[in-house]
Amino acid sequence: MNWVNVTIIENKKNRVIFLLLTVILSFNLTACNLLRVSADSLSSTLVLSVLSNPKTFNYVLSQESPNIFGLTYEGLITENPLTGKKEPQQAESWTVSQDKLHLIFTLRQGLKWSDGQPLTVDDVVFTYNDLYLNPNIPFNGRDGLRIGQSRTFPTVRKINDRQVEFITAEPFAPFLDAASFPILPKHILEKAIKTKGTNGKPLFLGTWGVETPPEEIIVNGPYKLKNYQTSERVVFEKNSYYWKKSSQGNQLPYIERVIWSIVESTDTALIQFRSGSLDSIGVSPDYFSLLKREEKRGNFTIYNGGPAFGTTFISFNQNKGSRKGNPLVDPIKSTWFNTLEFRQAVAYGIDRERIVNNIFRGLGELQDSDISKQSPFYDKSLQGYEYNPKKAKELLLGKGFKYNEKKELFDAKGNRVEFTLITNAGNKIREAMGAQIQEDLQKIGIKVDFNPVAFSVLVDRLSNSLDWECFLLGFTGGNEPNDGANVWFTQGSLHSFNQYPQPGTQRIEGQEFADWENKIAQLYIEGARELDFEKRRLIYNKAQQIISENVSFIYLVNPFAMSAIRNSIEGIEYSALGGGFWNIEQLKVKR
C-alpha cells in the first residue's frame, strides 16, 4: 500500500502503480505533427495518453506511474478485476500442498519471449531469486514476498522444465498476489546481474533505462515497445509471440498498435478528447456534466465502476514519544489526540455527505473502512460516523471539554482546542475537502488551521520528522487486505498515526502502542495465515470493527471510478479495479 497523490484513481493489484489508464487520457493527431498514421492503420490502433514521461523500462526498478508494464509483461497468474479471483496467465495451473507451505505452478507449453526465445521455468526462478529477492536490487515490491510474522522470504526452486515450486515458512494466503509479478527474461538480464560496474554494483541497476533502443526491451505481454520520443509519444505494437489466442484460434491481441501521447495538462486532454482525437479520458467530477451532455454527439460512453479502490481520510498524530527529550507532539494536544472520545467527536463533526454533494458533485460514496468498499473483505455491517454535531458535542463535554460564550471549545485545563491540518498543495479536491473540514469543525467549537504543503514536505513529515498534528491524505487499495499490513503493523512504514522510526531516522524514546493497535496487527497476521476465504473474511471483519471503534483514521469519501470511452472500442468490461482496458488483448477497434 502506498500514499496516493491523486484524487481519482483506478488501481490494479500487484502493480505498484496507478495503472496506465488511471491518468487522464488524451491525444491529438490533427493538432500536432507527432504521428503520421493513415485511416486504415487507425482502424487497428488504440490512441491514449499519459501525463508524463516513463521513468524507466525496467520493471524491477520502477516506482512511478505512468509505466509501460501493464501492456508489456505478465506474471504466473493474474487477478480478474470483475470477480476478484485469481486466474491463470503464464502458468496454466497451480496447486497448494496439504500443509499449505508448498505452491507449485505449471507453465503453459510453448511460451516464448518477444524475440522468439523460449520462456521457461529457468526464467521464473531467475526472476524471483536473482531479481526480486536480490538484496542488491532495490525492488519496491519485495515486502510483498515477506511471509507472516517472521517476515522471511520464500524458497523458489525448479522442479522440472515446466514446474516451479515456492516454499513458505508458514501458510500465507496473500502469496498468490506475488505470483502476479512479471516474469523477466534470464537470457537477456542475467549478465547484467552477474557483472558489476566500477562502483561495485550490478550493471542491472543501469539496464533498460528510457534511452534503451525499443528492440532491446524483451517482453512476454500482449504488446512490445516500438518507439519512444521524450515528451511526445510512446508507441507499442502487437507481440507476435504472445501466447493467448481467441476461441476461434486467432492470434491476440486484436488491436495492432497502442499509442500514448505525453500530455501534461488535463484541460488539454479534455479538449482533445472532445475533438475526437483520442479514444478515452478519465472523468473527474469537474468534467462529468459537460461530457455527459456530449455522449451521443461524441459517440462515447461514460462508464461508472462505482467507488474507486483506495481510501481518503484524516488522522491525528497519537505518538507519545520524544526525540532527545523533545516531545514529537505538544503534550496538551497529544492528550486530546489520544482521547478516544475526542477522535470520535471529530468524526461525527465532519459532514461527509456535504463533501460528496458539493466537492464530488454527487459522484462518490462514504467510506467507512480501511478496506476498499468493493473488496470482498469489506465489512458491510460497519456503521461508520454519520454527521451528528450534537453527538460530537456530547462526547466532548463528557470528557471535560467546555464551551465559552462564543461557543469556542476549551479543554478541562482551559486550553483552546485547535490544531493544524495539512494536506498536499495543488490537489484541488483535497484542498476543498480541507476547507470544508475546517468549516465543519468550527461548528463544534474546534479551530482548525488548514495548511496545504508540498507533497514531498508532507511525506517527509509523516515518515521522517514526524512533526505534524493532523493530515488529510489517502492510500491506494485493492481486494487483498494484506496490502495494508504496513499500515497496521506497529513497526510498519505506514503506521503513520503512531509511526515507529524507520531505518535512517532518529530513534524515539517513550513510544507506546495501545492494546487495540497490537490486536489489529495480530489479526492481520492471522488473516494472512488463513487460506480459507470465509475464515479470512471474518478475521478482517473483526479488524475493521476495532479500527472503526478506535478511529485511528477518520475515513471520508471515495469518488466513483469513471472513464469516457469511444463506442468504436468493442469488448469493454469496465471496473473500478481494472478500468476499461484491463482485457486489452480482447478488445477491437472499429472506426
User: Same domain for 154 and 243?
Assistant: no
Residues 6+ apart with CB under 8 A from 331: none
Decide if pLDDT at 223 tops 60: yes
Write out 207-231 in H/E/C secondary structure: CCCCCCCHHHCCCCCCEEEEEEECC
Copy the grid coordinates of residue 553: 483514521
Residue 275: give its domain's CATH number: 3.40.190.10
Are 427 and 8 within 8 A, CB to CB?
no
Q: Which residue type, as a one-letter code, is found at position 371?
A: I
Asked, for residue 380, whether it belongs to a domain, the answer is yes
Q: What is the pLDDT of residues 99-139, one digit of tens each?
A: 999 999 999 999 999 999 999 999 999 999 999 999 889 88
Are 384 and 366 within 8 A, CB to CB?
yes
Are 295 and 301 within 8 A, CB to CB?
yes
**The predicted structure's pLDDT at residue 439:** 98
**The predicted structure's pLDDT at residue 2:** 63
Distance CA 274, CA 477 (A): 31
Residue 369: give its domain's CATH number: 3.10.105.10
Sign of CA dihedral 366, 369, 375, 376: negative
Residue spans of beta strands (DSSP E) within 230-350: 233-238, 257-262, 280-282, 300-307, 311-316, 322-323, 326-327
Name the band, by pLDDT with cuts 50, 70 and 90, for residue 244: very high
Q: What is the DSSP string of 365-416?
A: EE--SSS-TTSTT--TT-------HHHHHHHHHHTT-EE-TT--EE-TTS-B
Task: Look over the chain and give the mean of its residue pLDDT values, rounded to a whole number.
Answer: 90
Asked, for residue 394, whether it belongs to a domain, the answer is yes
Owning domain of residue 285: 39-72+221-306+568-589
User: Same domain for 250 and 268?
Assistant: yes
User: Same domain for 507 and 371?
Assistant: yes
Mean pLDDT of 244-258: 94
Residue 579: beta bridge partners? 575
User: Same domain for 162 and 284?
Assistant: no
Q: Among 476, 502, 237, which residue's Cα sits nearest to residue 375?
A: 476
Q: What is the pLDDT of residues 423-468, one digit of tens each?
A: 998 788 899 999 999 999 999 999 999 999 988 899 899 989 999 9
Decide if pLDDT at 211 tops 90: yes
Q: What angle do CA 280, 285, 288 make, to 5 degrees?
A: 55
Q: How far is CA 61 from the centre of its chain?
A: 17
Residues 6+ apart with CB under 8 A from 553: 311, 313, 314, 315, 370, 497, 547
User: Same domain for 347 and 283?
Assistant: no
Asked, for residue 584, whether it belongs to a domain, the answer is yes
Q: Among 507, 509, 495, 505, which residue's Cα sits nearest to residue 552?
A: 495
Q: What is the pLDDT of residues 519-563, one digit of tens each?
A: 999 999 999 888 889 999 999 999 999 999 999 999 999 999 999
Residue 5 zone, left/alpha/beta (φ > 0; ψ -120 to 50; rest): alpha
Decide if pLDDT at 31 tops 80: no
**The predicted structure's pLDDT at residue 5:** 54
Grid cell 505478465 in the structure block, residue: 74
> What are the Cα distances from residue 248, in Å, to 131, 252, 478, 568?
37, 11, 33, 22
Grid cell 455522449 in the structure block, residue: 295
Asked, for residue 10, whether it belongs to a domain, the answer is no
User: Same domain for 401 and 487?
Assistant: yes
> What are the Cα distances from residue 333, in Å, to 318, 350, 481?
9, 19, 32
The domain tally of the chain equals 3
pTM, entire model: 0.79
Domain boundary among 189, 205, 232: 189
Mean pLDDT of 273-284: 92
User: Same domain for 405 and 441?
Assistant: yes
Secondary structure of the chain: what % helix, strand, coil (to 5)? Answer: 30, 20, 50
Decide if pLDDT at 32 tops 80: no
Q: What is the pLDDT of residues 475-502, one digit of tens each?
A: 888 899 988 888 999 988 889 999 999 8
**The predicted structure's pLDDT at residue 493:** 82
Phi, psi of 480 (to 5 degrees): -85, 115
Q: What is the DSSP letter of 443?
A: T
Decide if pLDDT at 33 tops 60: no
Q: Among 106, 123, 260, 246, which residue's Cα sits nearest to residue 182?
A: 123
Asked, for residue 543, whether it belongs to a domain, the answer is yes
Are 60 and 42 within 8 A, CB to CB?
no
User: Same domain for 446 and 372?
Assistant: yes
Residue 137: give its domain's CATH number: 3.90.76.10
Asked, for residue 27, whether it belongs to a domain, the answer is no
Least confident of 10-24, 353-367, 528-542: 10-24
Distance CA 239, CA 139 (A): 26
Residue 575: beta bridge partners? 579
Are 379 and 544 within 8 A, CB to CB?
yes
